[in-house]
Amino acid sequence: MELDKIKELVEMMKANDLSELEVVNGQTRIVLKRGPNQTAPQVIAMTPALTANGANPALRERLAAAGPESKDLPAEAAEDEKWARIVAPIVGTLYTAPSPNAEPFVETDSKVEEETVVCIIEAMKVMNEVKSGVRGTIKKILVENGSAVEYGQPLFLIEPD
């Protein structure tokens, strides 16, 4: 094994942010590991989900799914990654329309301005308007009318202009 070859492998690891590399070639075996705390190479958005195996798997799933850094499905992740998110600024009950019989504030493919109200979150009987904050097109609505949302929970995916 030449040193040059190892050097090249190391460069490649760095460039591609690999944390571990193993090469076996006949009698030769090379193992390289990088970074003190990384156990796996970073790909897309890594969700440090709860590793717990405790009382309520349902909660764990919910937590894992609801976290602002999480994704619904790995397959969708790559696509969703392109879009910005509108997240809940407070904890409360979300309404997608100003009143039960009214039209929703926004729908998929709605064009929104930064100041456009996209939903309301009720907390302690106060209706808090949530504004888009971004100019663009709503691509996906992640929550249902009347559902409870927690702080930081993604509500809409938006394609910025």
Partner 1 sequence: MFSRILIANRGEIALRIIRACRELGVQCVVVYSEADRHAHYLSLADEAICIGPADPAESYLNIPRIISAAEISNVEAIHPGYGFLAENAHFVEICRDCKINFIGPAPESMHLLGDKVQARKLAEKSKVAVVPGSDKAVANEDEAAQLAEKIGYPVIIKAAAGGGGRGMRIAHNEMSLRVAFHSAETEASSAFKNADLYLEKYLEQSRHVEVQVLADHTGNTLHLWERDCSLQRRHQKLVEETPSPGLSTEVRQELCKAAVRLAKAAGYINAGTFEFLLDKNNKFYFSEANTRIQVEHPITEMVTGIDLVQWQLRIAAGENLKLRQKDIRQQGSAIECRINAEDPANDFAPCSGCIDRFIPPGGFGVRLDSHVYPGYRISPHYDSLIGKLVVHKKTRAEAIACMKRALQEFEVGPVKTTIGLCREILTHRQFVKGKVDTGFIERTW
> What is the binding site for partner 1 (CB under 8 A)?
37, 48, 50-56, 59-60, 62-63, 66-67, 90-93, 123-124, 126, 148-153
Under the binding rule (CB under 8 A), the answer on residue 41 touching its own copies is no
State which amino acid sits at residue 58.
A
From its own copies, partner 1, none, interface partner of 22 (C-beta below 5 to 8 A by class): its own copies
Choices 3-11, 115-123, 126-134, 141-149; region in contact with its own copies by CB under 8 A: 3-11
Under the binding rule (CB under 8 A), the answer on residue 52 touching its own copies is no
Nearer to its own copies, 4 or 144 (CB): 4
What token pair was written down for 49?
């989900």
What token pair was written down for 119?
């939903």
CA 119/CA 124 separation, integer angstroms: 16
Residue 106 contacts residue 68 (beta carbons within 8 Å):
no
Please state the closest distance from residue 70 (CB atom) to partner 1, in A.
10
CA 145/CA 88 separation, integer angstroms: 14
Under the binding rule (CB under 8 A), the answer on residue 40 touching its own copies is no
Under the binding rule (CB under 8 A), the answer on residue 100 touching its own copies is no
Under the binding rule (CB under 8 A), the answer on residue 84 touching its own copies is no
CA 156/CA 6 separation, integer angstroms: 46
CA 148/CA 93 separation, integer angstroms: 4
Nearer to its own copies, 43 or 127 (CB): 43
Please state the closest distance from residue 114 (CB atom) to partner 1, in A.
22
Residue 94 contacts residue 156 (beta carbons within 8 Å):
no
44: phi > 0 → left, psi -120 to 50 → alpha, else beta; which?
left
Nearer to partner 1, 57 or 160 (CB): 57
